[in-house]
Structure 1
Amino acid sequence: MSQIPFAATRPVSVARVGLKAWDAETVASYYRQVVGLEELSRDASAITLGVGSRALLEIEADKSAKPDDPRGAGLFHTAFLLPSRADLGRWIKHAIANKIGVDGASDHLVSEALYLTDPEGNGIEIYVDRPHETWNWQGSQVDMATNQLDIQSIVDSVPAGSPDWKGAPENSVVGHVHLRVGDPAEAERWWNSEMGFDTVKNYGAQAVFLSSGGYHHHIGANSWQSQGAGRRDESRTGLTFVEMRSAKATAEEIREDPWGTVIRTVPDRA
Structure 2
Amino acid sequence: MPVTRRHILTLAGVTTAAAALPGALAAEGITDTTPTKATLPFALTTPIHCGEVAIRVRHLDNMVAYYRAVLGLAELSSTKDGATLGVAGTPLLHLITTPDAKIEPVTSAGLYHVAYLMPNRAELARWLVHIAMTKVPVSGFADHNVSEAVYLMDPEGNGIEVYSDRPRENWQWNEGVVTMGSEPLDIDGILALADTKKDTFTAAPDLLRIGHMHLKVGDLQKGDAFYVAAAGLVHTRKGREDAAFLSSGGYHHHVAMNMWHSKGAGARRSGQTGLAWFSLAVSDHETLEAQRSRFEAAGFAPKAIADGRGFEVTDPWGTGLRLVPV
Q: What's the TM-score once normalised by structure 1's chain length?
A: 0.95
Q: Which amino acid aligns with 2:224?
A: E
Question: Are 2:104 and 1:104 aligned?
Answer: no
Question: Are 2:136 and 1:121 aligned?
Answer: no
Identity %: 40
Deviation at residue 160 of structure 1 after TM alignment? 9.1
Q: CA RMSD in A?
A: 1.7
Question: Are 2:211 and 1:175 aligned?
Answer: yes
Q: Which structure 1 segments of 5+ residues have no match?
A: none
> How far apart, in 1, do the equivalents of 2:199 and 2:272 lie?
41
> How far apart, in 1, do the equivalents of 2:68 and 2:60 lie?
12
> How far apart, in 2, do the equivalents of 1:99 and 1:184 lie?
37
Match of 2:84 in 1: 48
> How far apart, in 2, do the equivalents of 1:163 and 1:61 lie?
31
Per-residue CA deviations over 1:109-143 (Å, capped at 9, x if unaligned) read 00000000000000000000001111100111110
Which protein has the bigger strand share?
A: 1
Label 1:184 to 1:158 Cα distance change in 2 as closer, same or farther (>3 A): same
Question: Are 2:319 and 1:261 aligned?
Answer: yes
> How far apart, in 2, do the equivalents of 1:43 and 1:204 lie?
43
Match of 2:106 in 1: 70
Question: Are 2:267 and 1:209 aligned?
Answer: no
Deviation at residue 98 of structure 1 after TM alignment? 0.9
Tell me the SS of whatever aligns to 1:40.
Answer: strand
> How far apart, in 1, do the equivalents of 2:60 and 2:133 lie?
26
Tell me the SS of whatever aligns to 2:44.
Answer: helix
Indicate if the aligned counterparts of 2:133 and 2:199 stay in contact, CA closer than 8 A: no
Indicate if the aligned counterparts of 1:86 and 1:159 stay in contact, CA closer than 8 A: no
Label 1:94 to 1:203 Cα distance change in 2 as closer, same or farther (>3 A): farther
Indicate if the aligned counterparts of 2:129 and 2:196 stay in contact, CA closer than 8 A: no
Label 1:87 to 1:203 Cα distance change in 2 as closer, same or farther (>3 A): farther
Match of 2:220 in 1: 184
Match of 1:95 in 2: 131
Per-residue CA deviations over 1:226-267 (Å, capped at 9, x if unaligned) read 010001112110000011111124641111111111000111
Of 68-77 and 253-262, more deviation after overlay is shown by 253-262
Indicate if the aligned counterparts of 1:18 and 1:60 stay in contact, CA closer than 8 A: yes
Q: Which amino acid aligns with 2:169?
A: E
When Rg is computed on C-alpha atoms for both structures, the one with the higher figure is: 2
Q: Which amino acid aligns with 1:21?
A: V
Label 1:159 to 1:254 Cα distance change in 2 as closer, same or farther (>3 A): same
Q: Which structure 2 segments of 5+ residues have no match?
A: 1-36, 289-308
Indicate if the aligned counterparts of 2:129 and 2:194 stay in contact, CA closer than 8 A: no
Indicate if the aligned counterparts of 1:75 and 1:122 stay in contact, CA closer than 8 A: yes
Deviation at residue 163 of structure 1 after TM alignment? 8.1
- Following TM superposition, the consecutive aligned residue runs of length 4 or more in structure 1 with deviations greater than 4 angstroms are 159-163
Match of 2:280 in 1: 244
Question: Are 2:81 and 1:23 aligned?
Answer: no
